[in-house]
Amino acid sequence: MRALLGRPAAVLRGLLDRPLTSYHLLLASTGLLLVIGLTMVFSATSVYAFATDGNAFAAIAEQATYAVFGLGAFWVCQRLPARTFRALGLPLLLVAFTLQGLLDLLSVASRVGLIGTPQLGPIGANVRWLEIGALSVQPSELAKFALVVWVADVLARKGSAVGWWRELARPLFPVVGLMLALVGYQDLGTMLCLVVLFVGMLWAAGVRLQVFAVMAVIGLAGVAFLVFLQRSYRMERLTAFLNPDCDVLDECYQAMQGRSALGDGGWFGVGLGNASHSWGWLPEGHNDFIFAVIGEELGVVGCLVVLGLFAVFAYTALRIARRVPDRFRRLAAAGVAAWIVGQTVINIGGVVGLLPITGLPLPFISAGGSALIVTMAAVGMLLSFARVEPAAARALHARPPAKWVQLLWAPLPPLPRDPAAAASDPSNRGTPRQEVR
């Protein structure tokens, strides 16, 4: 028995020890999650979109456009070196601060009646998007990527000095704290994701446990203040999570519909496109609660496949963080891993009832443009890190170019020449002719 179990383990170790394992695992897990996301967005929106607008492909066409832009961002970022990301950290952070501050300013102005009524979401949440002409931007998504790059650069420059409070207090804690306050005013779920991201990077940097204890106290106080500040809907979500006897037709409606969808799916689901809850009964079924639609249509097996792909992604990101040669890449990879895994846990935890509902999308799968483009850019940065692993870099340089590249750039063979034309060519005169035997 030990021999039978030892051989598959040895084969698995051999596969994981290959130089391009991180590269291929990251491409495979991300690509499959993106394909599942496009499929589920179409399945969750086609019937309702056809009933309301007469076009079943409206939502999937928009999401496919975002996916194309996301793949473009992915391709660009996977070609950039680490020094470019470090140089872009501060400009990206300033842009995120500007856009998020403008969004909060417009929200405050609308609340006091200066620019009309505030735009509210479909279930009463604050607006999270900044409309710039025909373009809709979610600044909090850009803040995730900007914080990963900038915090990794700052921590890499400080080195072992991160163990001292004064080194963390300038400029790390004030800048991150201001960003958390600006994002948390509009979007508490994204603020919690930023907190998980920041804590994960500090843990990877080797910060002392006393720092995390103080941060926990300050963080709980800040979350309580933000919940009290926007108690109209945040308190409803919190009390609905803590109160099992809440009104299923009011504050518990979305949560109960999501769990009902999961229960109806069983082990193998009802089939793609057959989820009755996505026909207008489940709010945000294509976005925040798309995992419930996956459970109803694909069952427990489909949910386990999605969770397995996220586990592969998390393992690959942490593997890259462990194997890359320099400190900046290690911290940035750990930040992306904490970001994606933390957001996934918060989203799925809210759907299954283990955590309060926060409105966070499921990475790669939920509908949305800003989230998908920024997430794909972060994955592209991870892939650029995977390319510089010592063994991977040697393997990529030693590997011959693809056959289509060889065919494209190979010199053309000379054309056969007519003997009579060759004899009359002046360039061939004086050249001894070969006898034909």
Domain range annotation of the chain: 35-391
Has residue 354 got a pLDDT over 70?
A: yes
CA distance 165 to 163: 7
Has residue 23 got a pLDDT over 90?
A: no
Q: What's the pLDDT score for residue 21?
A: 80
Q: Is 130 helix (H, G, I), strand (E, B) or coil?
A: strand
Omega before 171 cis (within 30°)?
A: yes
Query: Looking up tokens 């007519």, which residue turns up?
Result: 418
Amino acid in the structure at residue 9:
A
CA distance 341 to 346: 9
* Highest mean pLDDT, choosing among 62-76, 273-287, 343-357, 414-428: 62-76
Q: What's the pLDDT score for residue 125?
A: 43
* Higher pLDDT, residue 122 or 96: 96
Task: Give the mean model confidence (pLDDT) for residues 360-374.
Answer: 89
What is the tens place of the pLDDT at every residue in 34-72? 999 999 999 888 877 777 777 788 888 889 999 999 999
Has residue 140 got a pLDDT over 80?
A: yes
- Backbone CA torsion sign across 386, 314, 337, 210: negative
What one-character DSSP code corresponds to residue 183? H
Q: What's the pLDDT score for residue 389?
A: 73
CA distance 405 to 12: 32
Q: What's the pLDDT score for residue 233?
A: 61
* Higher pLDDT, residue 394 or 321: 321
Q: What value does the mean pLDDT of the chain take? A: 79
Q: Please tell me the least confidently modeled range out of 50-54, 319-323, 330-334.
A: 50-54
Q: What's the pLDDT score for residue 29?
A: 94
pLDDT band at 407 (very low <50, low <70, confident <90, very high): very low
Is there a contact between 395 and 389 (Cβ–Cβ < 8 Å)?
A: no
Nearest to 144 by CA among 196, 75, 98: 196
Tokens of 191: 């603020």
* Higher pLDDT, residue 139 or 233: 139
Q: What's the pLDDT score for residue 310?
A: 96
Has residue 411 got a pLDDT over 70?
A: no
Query: Which residues are paired to 136 by β-bridges?
Result: 131
What one-character DSSP code corresponds to residue 287? T
Q: Is 80 helix (H, G, I), strand (E, B) or coil?
A: coil
What is the tens place of the pLDDT at every residue in 143-175? 999 999 999 999 998 887 777 777 777 888 899
Q: What's the pLDDT score for residue 151?
A: 93
Task: Give the mean model confidence (pLDDT) for residues 115-129.
Answer: 49
Q: What's the pLDDT score for residue 404?
A: 44
Question: What spatial distance separates the first Cα and last Cα of the chain, rounded to whole Å?
Answer: 74
